[in-house]
């Protein structure tokens, strides 16, 4: 298992693209990677916060709606044009769905959640692969969730798209490892970000521990510092994060 401190990852001479980089986990990871010497490109629809953070970090901002394939392609191109290549794609943009499957089902809300949380990762991977290949390898980290590893009755659509991200990463990991491109998933539990919305108070009342964002950031740098591919890294309060141990699928008898 990779040591969980990320201290060995050296960002000097490297470029990282971060979707959903204006706020929350994306912004915190941007600060950490920039602090470790990397050039960061923030891709988000929040132009005000993203532009200010990019200026603070000496990076670049590009407006990117991850639901649009062309926006992901343009974001990668912006990273290559600004800094000469791409080494890390942190595909982090995501939302909760708030969409049930009973009387409150809204197809538009459903499609928006699936488009951001799943399609955005698919389009991001597709856009990043050529640039990483041109660099001789690199890392793709997709933000999934513990909701992709366990039942999520309070938001089944969110659980479905995050489980799909985990499955996608598990398939892509061995596919691209031979060319030096490592694809992994990040699976945090409830982190203290805006995505919690009104759930934060309820979770705290129920005694459910909220995950510190710094712990998620440390997991990202630990993944970058490692050698594994196709893994889904759990990040939960009170435990040292690491790759989730999937059981083998029963074969034919």
Q: Which of 9, 90, 158, 190 is catalytic?
A: 158
Residue at 202 is within a domain:
yes
- What pLDDT is stored for residue 103 in this prediction? 83
Answer whether residue 2 is part of any domain.
no
Between helix 120-134 and helix 156-176 the angle, nearest 10°, is 20
**Over the stretch 151-173, which tens digit does the pLDDT of each residue have?**
888 789 999 999 999 999 999 99
158: annotated active-site residue: yes
Residue 244 counted as domain residue = no
Instruction: Establish if 9 belongs to a structural domain.
Output: no
Please tell me the distance from the alpha carbon of residue 226 to that of residue 241, in angstroms, as a whole number. Answer: 13
List the CATH number of the domain containing 198.
Answer: 3.40.50.720
Question: Which tens digits make up the pLDDT trace of 77-97?
Answer: 999 999 999 999 999 999 988
8 occurs within a structural domain: no
Residue among 67, 91, 215, 94 nearest 141 (CA)? 91
| Burial class of residue 247 (count of CB atoms within 10 Å of its CB; 0-12, 13-18, 19+) | exposed
Exposure letters 196-227 (e unless 16+ CB within 10 A, then b): beebbeeeeeeeeebbebebbbbbbbbbbbbe
Rounded distance between C-alpha atoms, residue 55 and residue 124, angstroms: 23
pTM: 0.92
State the residue for tokens 């309820």: 202
Find tokens 């740098």 and name the residue. Answer: 221
Model confidence over 162-219: pLDDT tens digits?
A: 999 999 999 999 999 999 999 999 999 887 766 655 565 655 555 556 788 899 999 9
The tens digit of pLDDT for each residue in 210-245 reads 788 899 999 999 999 999 999 999 999 888 999 999
- Is 248 a member of any domain? no
In a domain, 243, yes or no: no
Query: Residue 204: its pLDDT value, please?
Result: 57
On the question of pLDDT at 4 being above 90, the answer is no
Domain span including residue 63? 15-236
Residue 241 lies in a domain: no
Unique residue bearing structure tokens 């794609």: 89
Residue 3 is predicted with a pLDDT of 40
Report d(CA 31, CA 220) in Å as an integer. 12
Q: How many domains does the chain have?
A: 1
Reported as a pLDDT band with limits 50, 70 and 90, residue 249 is confident
Is 52's pLDDT higher than 70? yes
**Percentage of the chain surpassing pLDDT 90?**
75
What pLDDT does residue 198 have? 58
């Amino acid at each position: 298992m990779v040591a969980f401190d990320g201290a060995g990852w050296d960002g000097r001479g490297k470029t990282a693209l971060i979707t959903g980089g204006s706020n929350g986990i994306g912004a915190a990871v941007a600060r950490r990677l920039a602090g470790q010497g990397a050039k960061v490109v923030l891709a988000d629809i929040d132009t005000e916060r993203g532009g200010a953070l990019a200026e603070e970090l000496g990076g670049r901002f590009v407006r990117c709606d991850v639901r649009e394939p062309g926006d992901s392609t343009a974001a990668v191109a912006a990273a290559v044009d600004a800094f000469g290549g791409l080494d890390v794609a942190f595909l982090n943009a995501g939302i909760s769905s708030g969409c049930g499957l009973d009387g409150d089902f809204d197809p538009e809300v459903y499609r928006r959640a699936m488009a951001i949380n799943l399609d955005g990762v698919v389009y991001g991977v597709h856009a990043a692969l050529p640039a990483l290949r041109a660099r001789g390898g690199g890392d793709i980290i997709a933000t999934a969730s513990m909701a992709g590893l366990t039942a999520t009755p309070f938001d089944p659509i969110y659980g479905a798209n995050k489980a799909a991200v985990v499955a996608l990463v598990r398939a892509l990991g061995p596919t691209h490892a031979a060319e030096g491109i490592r694809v992994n998933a990040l699976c945090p539990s409830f982190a203290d970000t805006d995505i919690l919305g009104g759930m934060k108070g309820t979770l705290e009342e129920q005694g459910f521990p909220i995950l510190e964002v710094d712990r998620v950031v440390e997991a990202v740098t630990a993944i970058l510092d490692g050698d594994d591919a196709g893994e889904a890294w759990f990040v939960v309060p009170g435990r040292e994060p690491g790759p989730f141990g999937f059981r083998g699928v029963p074969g034919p008898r």
